[in-house]
A and B are shown apart, each in its own frame.
Chain A
């Protein structure tokens, strides 16, 4: 049936990449230059040229995936090849260096390339782990469903608390009003909750709605009779609200993690290009 990008075409590109690694590594082991292994030997130049070609091709994915109308093959196939050849590049480029590292532009290019590849590894992991987790978390509901439920609960709580005394109404309404979902990048990625609550005239933290729940429970000990049934209903619904908020926040966190690595992967790719141009310039003009 259908398959993920990792198992695309029965893992065809995995085997191609493995072949490439084997050939490069064997050549490196068998090659016996007069000088210590480096980028300047014929094998060094060969591996370097291969690496350069691979980097340009890997970066071209950014163009290909936006080539909606035409373009050879499927994006899934391209991504599959991108992942496996990107991994192979790590070996090819390392062999190209001959393990000569220093504080210079050449090593900078290498380090940048490694960062790009490792951020890509995180991406692969995120792409495989978070979608199933998100689906399970939301129990097959969409994020819109959750927001609709939240809206429904909020209006229920407002209705219920409108008959309660000032204190309860204040807790419920200010907790709803000052509930924060999302926020900045960091807030989203860490699932940080900046929700607040107005308690006795002052604004206090209401992380995970805990403070509001605690305050409502406190009120329960104070209130007796008919009013207490209403309050316990409010507390029950408030509990459900907390669960939905937690789910939404966790979903946003995972969605963020699925995307955030690209904010590292892509800019570093451009930095890598800059460093690589400097590296080539240095090698061919100043050597």
Chain B
């Protein structure tokens, strides 16, 4: 039984936990820091040796008794260790928390192994990495079984077995195979989860026998070694029976168990099942379990500095001190220009009170949201955003009102508490209307990423946005002359449908009684020609499909399939008839669209090659592209000027690989960013360095990239590289006449000291070049072209 009752038990010795424990120690609070691994900061320990760690966001001041500034992994870790010693922190390593019971003032923490610890308050800072999945076989706790690999070069001439088939397993296997005899154990018959590059590497290595692969094999147990030169014997179940492998080392790379299940078992509630959901917290980081606080990545704050500040603040809150959060001054600066004479907390409260969509958001999340947002005073007549802008942020009106120009001469006034910009937020497409300030007004602009995080964690926000989206879409696209009230019955019957990539929305020959409006994603329209499914056209978001069946009362004339993850609004026949009645011009407009589409179909049906090319392009994931580089192989002379031009205009590193990528007929899809409609790379960028914007809607990476590599891994098309900064020399005449310097377009590494880090680089569509994309402008023959998917139909018509 536990003998001592701690005031504060901190679980997890990451940046947040370390900061909290040090601060508690500094103040003489009776505390304990519990860490499941044998060292502090497990996630950062796993970084590669010498990795430069950034200290974003730069504007946020650090508030912690232990040191932290941008620098090498080793320096940061040793700084923290010194901090622990200096403040005499009571830390217990190798102490894994399994259960938590009790309540505030009397928590009972169960440690794996049976011991129990009593504490009055708990701070949870366990991060999101989770614990690595173990082999789960007898003997897997042996010293030579490990679940991570810091430095592959540390092992030589060993027999190593790697268990797993993901990227981590493959990368480890390839790196270790240089100096060791390596086998890889794959439960399945293929490496289905691996990235293409890794797949080629591992298959090549297996082919050349530098790595042995055991397919369809699972670990059975780990036995003592049969002879002394090995550490143990790995017994495996193979398709041909039991196999015994003498080994020096076993490395399990089976992924991690997400911590959510554990956290829920402590009694902490998540608002929904969304994988990105974060637990609801008060502005003092307290969870629904009184006395249990959540900080750091688990609470939705992935950056080191934020977590450390929270660690400090949360200890103060537990002690009952009303410290101002570290971001107080930042918010105060943001609100300085506003016409209110209120302090920060009052302004925040006013915002939540005036703007209904933010009502249900908890104070901490709202604070974070405003920290990410821009609050601005717009003078009467100012353009907030214009139709066809590529921005996709979300706006709310705090004071005054705006005019939304949905069509020429059609202005809709939207006043205090309302929001706008939700169309582009949801569809990822360009702005569909121009918005003016109707009088001097205060608007809050929230970035898409922040809004999406909110939508994922607060159901109420999602519901309000969805309802508004439906009504406004119907009004704008189908019945601009009808009032919102008239459209409510239609909106209520409208359903939001979700489709997976490749899923059929409706098939040719079916009875059709609904129209689908694509709200995000895109679809292909295909038809059966001579027993072959032939793609005839591509329809992007913000357009309707299936209207033919409703207008002409015929069976579906084509099959419509989602190219990427797609959401549609479906409107049934009855509602559609109501719309036709309310909006007299609708029928004529729809008929025109139908006519145009039929004409297109006839052209394409007569040419099967073009249909196949269109299918190929969609198969390359170009359905979610907004602007893609294609190369006409019939014109390409392989001069590589596209790559040289890219390198010369982008610090010496070409962001496209002409030779890579597949070809169909004469169209080649090189490895290069296609500026996806809903970019996967943007989904998990801790400093929010990946942005979309500008006139071209390009997705680009800013200088505040911390080099974490998330985007590189998240991009399904492999177009992001991690690269040191280089520079492109521009010494043409000297190079030409005297051979001095490097050829234009060749990369030269800049040696900017040891604190340089690899940052993510990708195509930015030459947003900083006045003449447009350098790759296309440098192509001497006209082979390189940049297209949007809407233009593919024209491209494939050219097929000879």
Contacts and interface: CB of A to CB of B under 8 A. Distances in A.
Contacts of B745: 66, 68
A96 B136 CA distance: 89
A258 B648 contact: no
A256 B349 CA distance: 72
A119 to B, nearest CB: 15
Chain A contact-residue range equals: 35 or more
Given A131-B637, A152-B207, A75 B663 contact: no
A5 interface: yes
Given A68-B648, A69-B648, A135-B634, A74 B777 contact: yes
Interface in B649-683: 649, 659-660, 662-666
Given A2-B782, A141-B663, A132 B634 contact: yes
Given A1-B795, A3-B782, A5-B782, A68 B744 contact: yes
Contacts of A143: 659
B732 A135 contact: no
Interface in A52-85: 62-63, 65-71, 74-76, 78-79
Given A68-B648, A135-B634, A1 B794 contact: yes
A127 B636 CA distance: 8
B637 A65 contact: no
A4 interface: yes
Given A1-B795, A1-B798, A144-B659, A65 B782 contact: no
B315 interface: no
A255 interface: yes
A155 interface: yes
B792 to A, nearest CB: 10
A104 interface: no
A49 interface: no
B635 interface: yes
A224 interface: no
A21 B672 CA distance: 43
Given A71-B771, A76-B782, A152-B207, A65 B641 contact: yes
Interface centre among B659, B778, B785 (most CB of A within 10 A): B778
B776 A74 contact: yes
A173 to B, nearest CB: 16
A155 B203 CA distance: 13
B666 A5 contact: no
A142 B659 contact: yes
Given A2-B785, A68-B744, A140 B778 contact: no
B638 interface: yes
A70 B635 contact: no
Given A68-B744, A79-B780, A132 B770 contact: no
Contacts of A135: 633-634, 663, 666
Interface in B13-36: none
B668 to A, nearest CB: 8
Contacts of B634: 131-132, 135
A73 to B, nearest CB: 8
Interface in A70-124: 70-71, 74-76, 78-79
B636 A68 contact: no
Nearest to A152: B207
A74 B769 CA distance: 13
B202 interface: no
Contacts of B770: 70
Contacts of A71: 771, 777
Contact of B632 (A2, A63, A66, A67): A2
Interface residues of B, number: 45
A242 interface: no
B369 interface: no
Contacts of A76: 779-782
A270 to B, nearest CB: 10
Interface of B is mostly: loop
B229 interface: no
A8 interface: yes
Nearest to B785: A2
Nearest to B770: A70
Contacts of B559: none
Nearest to A62: B736
A132 B778 contact: no
B779 to A, nearest CB: 6
Given A66-B732, A68-B645, A75-B641, A142 B782 contact: no
Interface string A240-264: 0000000000000001001100000
A200 to B, nearest CB: 30
Nearest to B200: A148
Contacts of B783: 131
Nearest to A156: B207
Contact of B666 (A132, A152, A255, A259): A132
B778 to A, nearest CB: 5
Contacts of A79: 780-781
B208 interface: yes
B635 A155 contact: no
A220 B780 CA distance: 53
Contacts of A70: 770-771
Contacts of A62: 736
B774 interface: yes
A230 B639 CA distance: 44
Contacts of A127: 635, 637, 781
A74 B772 CA distance: 10
B524 interface: no
Contacts of B645: 68
B373 interface: no
A258 B638 contact: yes
A8 B648 CA distance: 25
A272 B644 CA distance: 28
Nearest to A143: B659
Contacts of B639: 259
A65 B745 CA distance: 11
Contacts of A4: 635, 781-782
Nearest to A142: B659
B780 A5 contact: yes
A141 B666 CA distance: 10
Nearest to B207: A155
Nearest to B638: A255
Interface in A146-168: 152, 155
A5 B634 CA distance: 12
A244 to B, nearest CB: 17
Contact of A155 (B208, B660, B664, B666): B208
Contacts of B791: 1
A258 B732 contact: no
A5 B776 CA distance: 12
Contacts of A255: 638
A63 B744 CA distance: 10
Interface in B591-642: 632-639, 641
B636 A65 contact: no
A65 B780 contact: yes
B638 A8 contact: no
A72 B663 CA distance: 31
Nearest to A255: B638
A75 B798 contact: no
Give the 7 A-B residue pairs with the shortest CB-CB distance, closest first: A68-B648, A68-B645, A135-B633, A140-B663, A132-B634, A2-B785, A66-B744
21 contacts: A1-B791, A1-B795, A4-B781, A63-B732, A66-B732, A66-B744, A68-B644, A68-B649, A68-B745, A69-B769, A74-B771, A74-B776, A74-B777, A76-B779, A76-B782, A127-B637, A131-B633, A140-B633, A140-B663, A142-B659, A155-B208
Interface of B: 207-208, 632-639, 641, 644-645, 648-649, 659-660, 662-666, 730, 732, 736, 744-745, 769-771, 774, 776-783, 785, 791, 794-795, 797-798
Interface of A: 1-5, 8, 62-63, 65-71, 74-76, 78-79, 126-127, 130-132, 134-135, 140-144, 152, 155, 255, 258-259
Given A66-B745, A131-B633, A131-B781, 8 more contacts: A5-B782, A68-B648, A70-B770, A75-B641, A135-B663, A140-B633, A140-B665, A259-B639
